[in-house]
């Protein structure tokens, strides 16, 4: 039997059974065993019970996207199989305790709880499961001990030891099952880093000089807040859990006013409450960085699931007219780079900058290379006694001072104001200030992140995507291998980079792939370039696109 190139493992059980523990430890073991891994989870909005799952693609080649196919299904509770049956193939192996798996043709029984109990407590079942899975795939046994030890490092030696022993017992059982799921090891991945989207956003914020974060917890953006809190000591970050999103946004704007570099991290419902503050930032020309992890709405929607339906919300948030920038990272690497960039652009242009991610991107892990360094740019000036906060300039950017740095007074007002920040109802001053604020757009557009193009230059069909679907679409198009299809991906959705127009001009067919029900990017592109955008592939069931789903949808559209 030849070792396999890739195995897709689905681990499924109730909330509270420790699926995330298995995901976290197993991904690290895979990496230390010299293999690539992509992991993504889906979960219900409940603390205990129900059915949650994580899918791990383990491969000797780079893997970056979500797939449906399951080779090995580890079942931890009774409703797991029914919930995931549509993803199973005739060769899917179902692994679990007899009571859960006995009716499946392709089942393998491992009594995780009983084995765990032989070590004194059934809570060690997760460690047994990690060991069994590692054994089945012939992962590095030392990596198993090492990562179990690492995971439990805060606990007593006795507890670490018993978990390691449980995992090693599991490993031995896994090896003895004789399943044909051994993986070929072919590439060195130890220098790479295992990262998920949430940590990438947090690290990007730190790279961008973030030293203030105030938020109100809301799925799926909370992990970014938590990661920043963990980084606070090392990087000197002021962290405050606000009483509500309104306070969080106002605090963050005031923090920038006083000289910090602040971010709020929230989701659509939370951001809805911040819209007034975004308008304030627009009027007082104080920067703010907003990370918005999208989930399905309206209202509470599907609180733990994924969607790309808040583009319109951030495009139009806030009353009145003022410039803004919206980034939508297409990968974990971009989540890092664009979050860092968001701080520099917000600071330079004194505007709100949005980083639009979603549950799928935030909760997905894969291996990344060394992260690109993004130098922090700081634009604060030392004021003199004649300082005018809203000095009218040719490019619309007034030098930004902060209180207590220099002799000047920094006076900002949410009312329309003159160059000193003083309230005014003068029609002339109003026009001057509106024009000054909007004049920034010229330079903002010049600093756009261009869309990414892949595929043949002589394409007929242009597939267009934005945000987290990038890598799923890329893999799907590789599988389709059609010579006349190209892919254009937007990581900056607003302002729409003007260069994008040239790609649309060349295309005979343009198909938008979006994870919302109305094609929000398609509508924006239509409005920007005055082109027809009727062809859309849309998904709005709360679950992320898989590679197979994109392949199928594109085939159906094109009849290939």
* Contacting residue, 375, 404, 483, 559, with other proteins by CB under 8 A: 404
Q: Is 289 in the site for other proteins (CB under 8 A)?
A: no
Gap between the Cα atoms of 53 and 41, Å rounded = 6
Which tokens sit at 493? 């959705």
Gap between the Cα atoms of 546 and 511, Å rounded = 17
Size of the site for other proteins (CB under 8 A): 50
x/- mask, other proteins, residues 336-375, rule CB under 8 A, reads ----------------------------------------
The distance of closest approach from Cβ of residue 439 to other proteins in the complex, given in angstroms and rounded to an integer, is 24
**Using the 8-state DSSP alphabet, how is residue 450 labeled?**
P
**Locate tokens 């389709």: which residue?**
480
C-beta closer to other proteins: residue 255 or 463:
255
Strand pairing of 325-327 and 88-96? Answer: unpaired
Q: Is 237 in the site for other proteins (CB under 8 A)?
A: yes
The distance of closest approach from Cβ of residue 417 to other proteins in the complex, given in angstroms and rounded to an integer, is 9
* Contacting residue, 15, 88, 189, 251, with other proteins by CB under 8 A: 251
* Contacting residue, 24, 252, 468, 549, with other proteins by CB under 8 A: 252
C-beta closer to other proteins: residue 155 or 378:
378
Q: Which range in 160-168, 274-282, 313-321, 355-363 contacts other proteins by CB under 8 A?
A: 274-282
The distance of closest approach from Cβ of residue 320 to other proteins in the complex, given in angstroms and rounded to an integer, is 13
The distance of closest approach from Cβ of residue 380 to other proteins in the complex, given in angstroms and rounded to an integer, is 7
* Contacting residue, 49, 62, 320, 403, with other proteins by CB under 8 A: 403
Q: Which of 118, 147, 154 is nearest to 130 (CA)?
A: 147
The distance of closest approach from Cβ of residue 130 to other proteins in the complex, given in angstroms and rounded to an integer, is 34
The distance of closest approach from Cβ of residue 211 to other proteins in the complex, given in angstroms and rounded to an integer, is 5
Q: Is 260 in the site for other proteins (CB under 8 A)?
A: yes
Q: Which range in 156-164, 302-310, 398-406, 468-476 contacts other proteins by CB under 8 A?
A: 398-406
The distance of closest approach from Cβ of residue 205 to other proteins in the complex, given in angstroms and rounded to an integer, is 15
Gap between the Cα atoms of 376 and 172, Å rounded = 50
Q: Which range in 25-33, 110-118, 199-207, 246-254 contacts other proteins by CB under 8 A?
A: 246-254
3-state SS class at 358 = strand
Residues 206-235 that bind other proteins (CB under 8 A): 211-212, 214, 232-233
Q: Is 379 in the site for other proteins (CB under 8 A)?
A: no
x/- mask, other proteins, residues 408-437, rule CB under 8 A, reads xxxxxxxx-----xxx--------------
Distance of CA 82 to the CA centre of its chain: 28
**Using the 8-state DSSP alphabet, how is residue 183 labeled?**
B
**Locate tokens 């937007």: which residue?**
490
Q: Which range in 44-52, 245-253, 305-313, 536-544 contacts other proteins by CB under 8 A?
A: 245-253
Q: Which range in 70-78, 194-202, 254-262, 517-525 contacts other proteins by CB under 8 A?
A: 254-262
Output phi, psi for 185, to 5 deg.
Answer: -105, 125
CB neighbour class for 434 (10 Å; exposed up to 12, middle 13-18, buried from 19): middle
Gap between the Cα atoms of 170 and 30, Å rounded = 16
Which tokens sit at 485? 């299809």
Which tokens sit at 465? 């995507």
Which tokens sit at 258? 């006083």
Gap between the Cα atoms of 57 and 70, Å rounded = 9
Q: Which range in 49-57, 103-111, 142-150, 242-250 contacts other proteins by CB under 8 A?
A: 242-250
**Locate tokens 């006995």: which residue?**
102
Which tokens sit at 437? 């604020």
C-beta closer to other proteins: residue 114 or 378:
378
Which tokens sit at 249? 């946004």
C-beta closer to other proteins: residue 109 or 238:
238
Gap between the Cα atoms of 264 and 215, Å rounded = 5
Q: Is 276 in the site for other proteins (CB under 8 A)?
A: yes
Q: Which of 363, 475, 429 is nearest to 65 (CA)?
A: 475
C-beta closer to other proteins: residue 212 or 512:
212
Q: Is 405 in the site for other proteins (CB under 8 A)?
A: yes
Q: Is 257 in the site for other proteins (CB under 8 A)?
A: yes
Q: Which of 61, 23, 59 is nearest to 42 (CA)?
A: 23
Q: Is 531 in the site for other proteins (CB under 8 A)?
A: no
* Contacting residue, 109, 177, 239, 434, with other proteins by CB under 8 A: 239
CB within 8 A of 467, min separation 6: which ones? 308, 328, 329, 330, 356, 357, 358, 361, 490, 491, 493, 515
C-beta closer to other proteins: residue 369 or 407:
407
Length of the chain: 560
Gap between the Cα atoms of 10 and 95, Å rounded = 10
CB within 8 A of 44, min separation 6: which ones? 15, 50, 51, 52, 304
* Contacting residue, 109, 186, 242, 517, with other proteins by CB under 8 A: 242
Where do contacts with other proteins occur on this chain (CB under 8 A)?
211-212, 214, 232-233, 236-240, 242-244, 246-248, 250-255, 257-260, 262, 276-277, 280, 284, 378, 380, 382, 402-405, 407-415, 421-423
């Amino acid at each position: 039997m030849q070792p396999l190139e890739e195995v897709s493992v689905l681990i499924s059980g109730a909330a509270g059974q420790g699926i995330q523990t298995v995901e976290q430890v197993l991904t690290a073991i895979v990496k230390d065993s010299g293999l690539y891994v992509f992991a993504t989870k889906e979960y219900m909005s409940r603390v205990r019970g129900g059915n949650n799952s994580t899918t791990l693609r383990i491969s000797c080649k780079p893997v970056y996207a979500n797939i449906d196919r399951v080779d090995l299904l580890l079942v931890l509770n009774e409703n797991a199989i029914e919930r995931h049956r549509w993803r199973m193939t005739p060769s899917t192996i179902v692994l679990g305790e007899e009571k859960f798996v006995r009716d499946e043709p392709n089942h393998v029984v491992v009594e995780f709880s009983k084995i765990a109990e032989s070590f004194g407590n059934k809570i060690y079942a997760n460690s047994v499961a990690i060991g069994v899975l590692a054994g089945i795939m012939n992962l590095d046994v030392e990596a198993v001990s090492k990562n179990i030890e690492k995971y439990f490092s805060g606990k007593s030696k006795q507890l670490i030891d018993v978990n390691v022993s449980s995992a090693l017992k599991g490993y031995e059982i896994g090896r003895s099952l004789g399943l044909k799921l051994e993986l070929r090891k072919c590439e060195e991945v130890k220098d790479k880093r295992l990262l998920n989207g949430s940590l990438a956003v947090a690290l990007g914020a730190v790279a961008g000089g973030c030293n203030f974060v105030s938020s109100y917890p809301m799925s799926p953006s909370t992990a970014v807040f938590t990661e920043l809190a963990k980084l606070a000591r090392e990087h000197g970050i002021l962290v405050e859990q606000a009483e509500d999103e309104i306070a969080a946004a106002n605090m963050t704007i005031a923090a920038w006013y006083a000289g910090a570099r602040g971010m709020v991290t929230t989701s659509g419902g939370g951001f809805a409450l911040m819209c007034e503050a975004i308008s304030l930032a627009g009027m007082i020309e104080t920067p703010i960085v907003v990370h918005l992890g999208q989930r399905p709405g309206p209202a509470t929607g599907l609180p733990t699931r994924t969607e790309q339906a808040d583009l319109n919300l951030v495009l139009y948030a806030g009353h009145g007219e003022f410039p803004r920038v919206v980034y939508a990272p297409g990968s974990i690497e971009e989540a890092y780079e664009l979050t860092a960039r968001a701080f520099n652009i917000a600071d330079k242009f004194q505007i709100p900058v949005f980083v639009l991610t979603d549950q799928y991107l935030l909760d997905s892990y894969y291996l990344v290379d060394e992260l690109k360094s993004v130098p922090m740019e700081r634009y604060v000036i030392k004021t003199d006694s004649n300082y005018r906060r809203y000095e009218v300039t040719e490019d619309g950017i007034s030098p930004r001072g902060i209180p207590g740095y220099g002799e000047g007074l920094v006076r900002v007002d949410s009312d329309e104001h003159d160059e000193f920040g003083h309230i005014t109802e003068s029609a002339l001053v109003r026009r001057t200030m509106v024009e000054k604020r909007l004049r920034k757009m010229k330079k903002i557009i010049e600093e756009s992140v261009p869309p990414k193009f892949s595929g043949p230059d002589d394409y007929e069909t242009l597939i267009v995507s934005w945000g987290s679907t990038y890598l799923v679409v890329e893999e799907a198009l590789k599988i389709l291998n059609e010579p006349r299809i190209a892919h254009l991906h937007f990581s900056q959705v607003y302002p729409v980079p003007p260069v994008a127009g040239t790609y649309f001009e060349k295309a005979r067919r343009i198909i938008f792939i979006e994870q919302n029900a109305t094609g929000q990017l398609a509508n924006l592109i239509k409005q920007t370039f005055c082109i027809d955008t009727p062809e859309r592939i849309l998904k709005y069931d709360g679950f992320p696109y898989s590679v197979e789903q994109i392949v199928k949808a594109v085939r159906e559209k094109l009849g290939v």
